[in-house]
Every structure is written in C-alpha cells, then in structure tokens.
Amino acid sequence: MLLMGWSAADFEYEHTIEGATSASSVFPALLCVAAAHHKTGEEFLAALAVGYELATRIAAATTLGVEDVLGFHAAGLAGPATAAAVGSLLHWDVETVASGMGVASSSAAGLLAYLSTGADTRDLHAARAGQLGAEAAFMAHAGVLGPRDVLENPEGYLHAFSRHPKWHMLNAKLGKDWTSAAMTLKLAPVHVWAQGFAYAIDQYRKQEKATWTAEDIKNVTIFAGPAILDPMRYARAAERKFANVARVLGVTAEGQELKYSIKHLAAVEDMSALMGKMVSMGKLAVSNVAAQG
C-alpha cells in the first residue's frame, strides 16, 4: 500500500485538483483493501468515487492557502477521504465512517521543507496519507472513537488547515455536480503546472503532422509567468533529491530538474517524438534547445 502510493507520487501518476492528489493516496490504499476483502470491480469503483469526490471537495474547501500560507503539503492531507472510501467499500455505517475520518484527520500532515532540501518526504506524504487513512478506518471499526464532526469542528480539520475555508464547497450541489470530474489527469511524469505545455507540444505535433529533426529546432519560446518558467526552489530540490538517488544507483544526475522545469520539459517533449518514446529524465542531454519567456 505504502510503496504503491510512493511510486505513484514519484512518477507523477496522478489525478489532481486544488491540491488533492487522490491517485497516490486514496487509490493505492483502497485497491489493497479491496483485494484483501475480495471486493468486486463495481464495489471498488463506487468506493473510489466516494474517496475522490470527498478528497476534491475537502481540498477545495481548504483552498491552496494550506500550502501558500500555512506551509502544509496538501498531498499529505488525504487521510480523511481515504478513510471514508474504505468505510464505503466495506459498507460500514455512517457513524463508523465519520469516526474513521476523525481519526485520520489527527494524522494529517506533511511539511514543505523538502523544497529547500530535496528530501524524499514530498513523494511520501500522499502515500502515508493513504496508508494512515486506511488504518484509521479499521481503527474506528474496531471501536476507536474519532471526532465525527472533524471537518466543521471549531478545533478541527478546516480550523487547522485553512485561514479562510470555503465551507460551501463541502456539499455544494452534492450528488449533482461532481468536483472530482474536473481533476487533471497527468499525461507526463512532471509537476502539474507543466502538464499543459506537454499537452500543447503533443497536440501541435499531431496537428501539423510534424516530422522535424533535432537539427531543425533552433529555439523554443514559452509564454508564461516567472513562477512557471523559473521555479528555482523546486528545481533545486529536484536536483538535490536526484543527486542522492544517483549516488545509490550510480547514474548521472544530469537533467533531473526536468520534473519541475518547463524548459527541460519542452526539450524532452520535442525530442521524444524523434526517438519514438519518452526519454528517461535522468539521461537526456539537449544542448541546442533554449526556452525564453
């Protein structure tokens, strides 16, 4: 369960919106529980919909201020949604599910210190949220009592993780509008802000039936704000992180900042069509492609 979530986060195998990263938290945990309890595909998907919808609604109510203002990594806060998904899968009563969400909320965490250190905790946050959420659900079923009103409690989840919570997002048009349907499906193993650029390059290549060669590419111009084009704190973190991995695996650390760098993403996307596949992020060196903004 933990390793599945960790791998999903590391390879950016994600569905994401408003900071909710359910594919590396809710999905791995629920899949493991469903397999262990021999649940059908229909039961699994129904419970997954519960977890995804709750995760996105809680994230929307919390707002991105949880990271920008308070300094918590939103990916580490998916425990309550996972607990609810597990309870739904196993057909537990409402009181047990709510209690599990309360227990899980007390384990919600995840700090942004990895940004300046390149630590592995960034990818661990969502995985641990899923694991702890599942554990919380089973603890509640065994009789451990969690605060059942944990989301709206004056000393509860939204009080801790949001300065200005959007309370109405928790149940606005519930059952009619599915907030989880608006989640972004990551098409490339890069951070969410780079997905649009990867998609645009792929679409242009298909539309123009492009057959360019590496020698044809002299310059790539990207129009975006400075925070998108030069997210230096993320790039430095990625470099430090991969340097640690490189020492263990004996591979080159060149270009690993691709995961967060729009410039390197554009280079890889342009080259990948020529090579017929996505190129390994750690081994591609492109010398004649520059990005300007």
Q: Residue 192 gets which letter from DSSP?
A: G
pLDDT for position 113: 86
Classify strands 220-221 and 291-292 as parallel, antiparallel or unpaired: parallel
pLDDT digit string, tens, across residues 165-217: 999 989 988 888 888 888 777 777 777 767 777 777 777 777 777 666 667 77
pLDDT for position 205: 75
Query: Sorting pLDDT into bands at 50, 70 and 90, what band is 229?
Result: low
Query: Sorting pLDDT into bands at 50, 70 and 90, what band is 263?
Result: low
Residue matched to tokens 């919106």? 17
Alpha carbon distance 238, 255 (integer Å): 10
Q: Which of 26, 29, 27 is nearest to 2 (CA)?
A: 29
What are the residue ranges of helices labelled H in 142-288?
Answer: 157-161, 195-207, 226-229, 232-249, 262-275
pLDDT for position 91: 97
Exposure of 40 by Cβ count < 10 A (0-12 exposed, 13-18 middle, 19+ buried)?
Answer: exposed
Average pLDDT over residues 37-53: 96
- CATH superfamily for 2-185 is 2-methylcitrate dehydratase PrpD (1.10.4100.10)
Q: Which range, of 28-37, 107-116, 145-154, 196-205, averages the lowest pLDDT?
A: 196-205
Average pLDDT over residues 16-20: 71
pLDDT for position 149: 96
Write the CB contacts of 41 (distance below 8 Å, at least 6 apart in sequence): none
Q: Which amino acid, residue 64?
A: L
* Residue 20: other Cβ atoms inside 10 A: 30
Would you say 179 and 50 are in contact if contact means Cβ atoms under 8 Å apart? no
Q: Which of 259, 227, 229, 228 is nearest to 241 (CA)?
A: 259
Q: Where are the domains of the chain?
A: 2-185, 192-292
What are the residues facing 291 on neighbouring strands?
220
Reply yes or no on whether the pLDDT at 246 is more than 90.
Answer: no
Alpha carbon distance 131, 142 (integer Å): 17
pLDDT for position 181: 81
Token duo for residue 129: 């949220």
Average pLDDT over residues 224-234: 57
This prediction's pTM: 0.75
Would you say 282 and 253 are in contact if contact means Cβ atoms under 8 Å apart? yes
pLDDT digit string, tens, across residues 59-108: 999 988 888 889 899 889 999 999 999 999 999 999 999 999 999 999 99
Would you say 274 and 205 are in contact if contact means Cβ atoms under 8 Å apart? no
pLDDT for position 161: 94
